[in-house]
Structure 1
Amino acid sequence: MLKNDFVNNGFGHLDQLLSFDEVVELRKLYDVLLEDKKLTAGLRSDLSGNSSNSEAVEKITQIMLPSSIEPQLLEKQVYTKALAWARDLLGDDMALDFDMLINKAPFTDTETPWHQDAAYWIDLPDKRSVSCWIALDDVYEENGCMWFARRHDQKLLEHSHKIAGGALSVQAFPENGKPLPLKAGGCSFHDGFTLHYSKGNSTNGQRRALILNFRPQEMIKLERERGMDHTGKRKFRKSDDAL
């Protein structure tokens, strides 16, 4: 079912990738990274565009490459399980390109606009990619679950920043977008060209997600040769033009 949905629509989901105990262990490591701004300096940003004021509450915290700061993450079964699914979806040459944490803080009510992840990446000859978005809390519309729109092709739409330093957004609002609520431990898989979005968190709890991105090993090697390691100043492709 997952593979069929992914091939036909550009996304799919599993009701349960992780057990409750696995979720609890990941939350412990996640919260240490979330709370320690010094430890995560240089890999941390606020996707709301609110990064200039260090005293302000981060609305949408993004921490790139958390496993480079906390190697214990790589020992968790989530990485092995997600990789197995990535290989089932796109081939045995799939490997982990990068990981990241994205948290929506309580009562911040800040949306992540519709966008395609490929807009953040350099153009590569082999465009296979899949991101596994793992819910570490129950997620639903009110706290910012993912919304997806069916992918029709591998065309990169025009993107821009609504707010300087914030997340990218496309100009057109998809008419066929639907929310995908998940229980903690559930996950979704989406292609780099699949449009997705999430509402803000208007609840009193965190909305914690761990995202693992996979692509062919040769494409990861090519990225690194071109200086792309998913750190540093965020660049983007406005459309199908190269970075």
Structure 2
Amino acid sequence: MTNSQISQSSPEIGPQSSPEIGARISDRDLPDHLVAAYREHGFVRVRGVLDPEEVERFRAGAEAFLAAHRAESIGGEVFRQLVNVWRRDPVVRELTLHPRLARIAERLAGVPLRIWHDHMLVKEPHSDTPTEFHQDQPYWPHTGGRHALSAWIALVDVPPERGCMTFLPGTQHLTGLRPQDLRDEEDLFRLDPSLRWLPRVTVPLRAGDCTFHHSFTGHMALPNRTDLARLAHVVIYMDAETAYSGAPHPVTDPLGLAPGARLDGPEFPRP
């Protein structure tokens, strides 16, 4: 199975014609049909979460931070990644702690949330390497949490050819798998062959749009075959009651936490 076989759209799954939500619509009132779509499919697209002025400001801030810290990025050929940028850059901090993002995330999750971490994800121009299908949650040293989800914010237009994401709807209910190899397109499907036959929904984003996806929802990102870097900022939210499992992770390794300790305090703020 190749990435060229991925369906580019599906009007039946996800909010393909959803109304915009942003500064001109009440931040408190996420339409019920978007909440229902998220809870059924494990992901949802929300248009216009950032208004154009915010997009320009946050994109400029992210680009400046990336230019100064590109050598520190991790991820290799799949993508460049800079983690916990909110702790180091005041402009990106405003984006990570943006109250509009947090209100939407908490409405979708249905539980109080904390920031797990943010990360800047960059696919460089003419990168033919996709990020293969995987779930996020198996990578995280969490226990006791009821819900975790990611807000994937497009800071540039991200059509399919620039590396937008493709989701496996309904897979948020699949738990207990080991972490998957982001470079191996067969790895998730070897773990559960039934997933191979699910519909695949590719979700292009305009700058300022955002997808929210459950931490167990299977997803991948297409290659970036354009002349422009794909610049996205991802805010990961976890249940405010989440505790540390004791497993290694770059975010928690320096903190000296004991297994079972709550992931709270200034490192993991309430948004």
Alignment partner, residue 181 of structure 1: 204
More strand by share: 1
Distance (whole Å) between structure 1 residues aligned to residue 228 and residue 160 of structure 2: 13
Write the letter of the residue equivalent to 2:231. R
Alignment partner, residue 61 of structure 2: 29
Could you tell me how far 1:151 is from its partner in structure 2?
2.2
- If the length of structure 2 is used for normalisation, what is the TM-score? 0.71
Aligned length, in residue pairs: 216
Q: 1:167 to 1:80 in 2, by over 3 A?
A: farther
Distance (whole Å) between structure 1 residues aligned to residue 246 and residue 142 of structure 2: 13
Is 1:60 the equivalent of 2:74? no
Identify unmatched segments of 5+ residues in structure 2.
1-32, 255-271
Write the letter of the residue equivalent to 1:211. V
Describe how 1:176-215 pairs up with structure 2 within 5 A.
176-215=199-238
Alignment partner, residue 70 of structure 1: 89
The alignment's C-alpha RMSD in Å is: 2.8
Distance (whole Å) between structure 2 residues aligned to residue 26 and residue 82 of structure 1: 14
SS at match of 2:138: helix
Alignment partner, residue 3 of structure 1: 35
CA contact (8 A) 1:149 1:174 kept: no
CA contact (8 A) 1:135 1:209 kept: yes
Residues 65-124 of structure 1, C-alpha deviations (whole Å, 9 max, x = no match)? 011111332234872111101111123511222111101111112100000001211241
Describe how 1:40-119 pairs up with structure 2 within 5 A.
41=72, 44-48=73-77, 60-76=79-95, 79-119=98-138
Write the letter of the residue equivalent to 2:188. V
- If the length of structure 1 is used for normalisation, what is the TM-score? 0.79
Distance (whole Å) between structure 1 residues aligned to residue 175 and residue 233 of structure 2: 26
Is 1:157 the equivalent of 2:177? yes
Distance (whole Å) between structure 2 residues aligned to residue 162 and residue 81 of structure 1: 30
Identity among equivalent positions (%) equals 25
Write the letter of the residue equivalent to 1:34. L
Identify unmatched segments of 5+ residues in structure 1.
49-58, 234-243
Q: 1:9 to 1:20 in 2, by over 3 A?
A: same
Distance (whole Å) between structure 2 residues aligned to residue 217 and residue 140 of structure 1: 34
Choose 1 or 2 for highest CA Rg. Answer: 2
Residues 1-21 of structure 1, C-alpha deviations (whole Å, 9 max, x = no match)? 221111111111111101111
CA contact (8 A) 1:159 1:171 kept: no
